């Protein structure tokens, strides 16, 4: 039987292991998205601008939890939220089991489950259902995060790190379930809304943070930064028809004010944010990554994992950082001791940032996708 937290010993180190990521089987291409926008909004006064913005996202394919014709049909908030719950329960367990396997952990060894999502609502949280369905202990802590949007991936990592720091040797499971297509609103005709229709995709991801052992990014410091006076730049209007996503035109330029926050956290750790070995950051759009390259003095290559996620899956909200981290594992070139940064950006405007070193266990195998 697993020891209770109070009786454990440990060094206080916490390693973010290899994530498991899954995307739904229904796919929409950029060409299909553009054709749909041309047909649906033929008389929109800013249609050409919208088409150009969608082209410039760099998104080639996105995955949807329902067939496209179902996504376009709005059956009401109640039905959509029921779809969210049904699909989450159908798809999350396999991803959780894969994440546990990647980390070499059993369900009974998990002390906290952090569940992040901004695209559906359940109470009790899906954490309760997961605990009951997959064999987690009844005393497993639960931390649902529902209102941090795309920043929630970074926040989940940071809260897991906080927990492992408070309880050395503890293990945390993070689950992200984002069905952005369930937030499609056919009556929202603002440029920001129409751009979002060609940007966001659906995905489920999970990852274990181990308090002891494990191969992956060992988080050493984390921090948050809120940009004052920007609460209405990214937001939801909650109406009878569900969540209506609102995106201010100033959002793409936020890296000019958030890059200094990344630099400040790294400097607290006596590191230079522009001189690290790897970067796992939220890819809200291509300009976010372009501006980070500029403000941190980095080459485009340093954000190749985030760019690949954006290109192949679109903006998958809180799952972006986990998908990008999985790609870092897949590449298999990161070395033990390499220094890195992970960051999520979202409503607030909020940045959730962590820094740490890559840690490879002596028993690392080819399956881990890293060099020992």
In 3D space, the residue among 151, 70, 72, 79 whose CA is nearest the CA of residue 120 turns out to be 79
- Residues 6+ positions from 307 with CB-CB distance below 8 Å: 58, 283, 286, 289, 300
* pLDDT for 371: 36
Indicate if 150 belongs to the active site: yes
Round to whole Å and give the CA distance between 152 and 352: 8
Reduced to 3 states, what is the DSSP secondary structure of residue 154?
helix
* pLDDT for 7: 33
- Residues 6+ positions from 69 with CB-CB distance below 8 Å: none
Q: What is the mean pLDDT of each run of 10 residues along the chain (372 residues)?
A: 43 84 96 88 85 88 94 92 97 98 97 96 95 96 94 96 96 97 87 83 97 95 94 86 83 86 95 96 88 94 96 96 98 95 93 95 50 33
- Distance (Å) of CA 189 to CA 52, 186, 251: 16, 8, 18
In the chain, list all ranges with CATH 3.40.47.10: 5-210, 216-368
Residue 260: strand pairing partners: none
pTM metric for this prediction: 0.91
CATH class of 216-368: alpha beta
Pairing of strands 20-22, 112-116: unpaired
Burial of 273 (0-12, 13-18, 19+ CB in 10 A): buried
- Phi/psi of residue 28, nearest 5 degrees: -125, 130
Residue 218: strand pairing partners: 15, 357
Cβ atoms of 92 and 177 within 8 Å: the answer is: yes
The two structure tokens encoding residue 335: 């070395």
How many Cα atoms occupy the beta-carbon half-sphere of 109 within 13 Å? 15
DSSP-derived secondary structure letter, 2: P
Q: How many CB atoms lie within 10 A of CB 70?
A: 15
Fold for 5-210, please state it: Peroxisomal Thiolase; Chain A, domain 1 (3.40.47)
Burial of 187 (0-12, 13-18, 19+ CB in 10 A): exposed
The two structure tokens encoding residue 318: 């809180």
* pLDDT for 311: 95
- Distance (Å) of CA 208 to CA 45, 139, 158: 48, 18, 13
* pLDDT for 362: 67
Residue 141: strand pairing partners: 112
Indicate which residue of 17, 118, 150, 183 is catalytic.
150
Q: How many residues does the chain have?
A: 372
């Amino acid at each position: 039987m697993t020891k209770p937290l109070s009786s454990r010993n440990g060094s206080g180190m916490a390693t973010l292991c290899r994530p498991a990521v899954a995307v739904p089987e229904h796919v929409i291409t950029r060409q299909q998205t553009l054709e749909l926008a041309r047909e649906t909004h033929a008389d929109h006064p800013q249609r050409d601008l919208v088409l150009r913005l969608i082209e410039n996202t760099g998104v080639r394919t996105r995955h949807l939890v329902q067939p496209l014709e179902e996504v376009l049909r709005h059956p009401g908030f109640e039905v959509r939220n029921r779809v969210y719950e049904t699909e989450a329960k159908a798809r999350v367990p396999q991803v959780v089991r894969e994440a546990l396997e990647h980390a070499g952990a059993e369900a009974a060894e998990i002390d906290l489950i952090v569940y992040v999502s901004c695209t559906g609502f359940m109470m009790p949280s899906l954490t309760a259902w997961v605990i009951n369905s997959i064999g987690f202990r009844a005393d497993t802590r639960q931390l649902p995060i529902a209102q941090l949007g795309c920043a929630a991936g970074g926040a989940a990592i940071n809260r897991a790190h906080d927990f492992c720091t408070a309880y050395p040797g503890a293990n945390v499971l993070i689950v992200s379930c984002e069905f952005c297509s369930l937030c499609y609103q056919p009556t929202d005709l603002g440029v920001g809304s129409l751009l979002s229709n060609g940007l966001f995709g659906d995905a489920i991801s999970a990852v274990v943070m181990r308090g002891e052992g494990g191969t992956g990014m060992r988080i050493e410091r984390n921090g948050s930064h809120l940009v004052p006076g920007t609460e209405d730049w990214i937001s939801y209007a909650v109406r009878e028809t569900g969540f209506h996503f609102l995106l201010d035109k100033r959002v793409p330029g936020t890296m000019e004010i958030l890059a200094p926050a990344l630099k400040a956290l790294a400097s607290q750790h006596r590191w230079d944010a522009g001189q690290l070995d790897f970067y796992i950051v939220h890819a809200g759009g291509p300009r976010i990554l372009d501006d980070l390259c500029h403000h941190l003095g980095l080459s485009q290559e340093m954000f190749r994992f985030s760019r690949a996620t954006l290109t192949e899956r679109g903006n998958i909200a809180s799952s972006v950082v986990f998908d990008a981290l999985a790609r870092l594992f897949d590449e298999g070139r990161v070395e033990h001791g390499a220094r890195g940064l992970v960051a999520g950006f979202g409503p607030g405007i909020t940045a959730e940032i962590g820094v740490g070193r890559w840690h490879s266990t002596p028993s690392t195998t080819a399956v881990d996708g890293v060099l020992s």
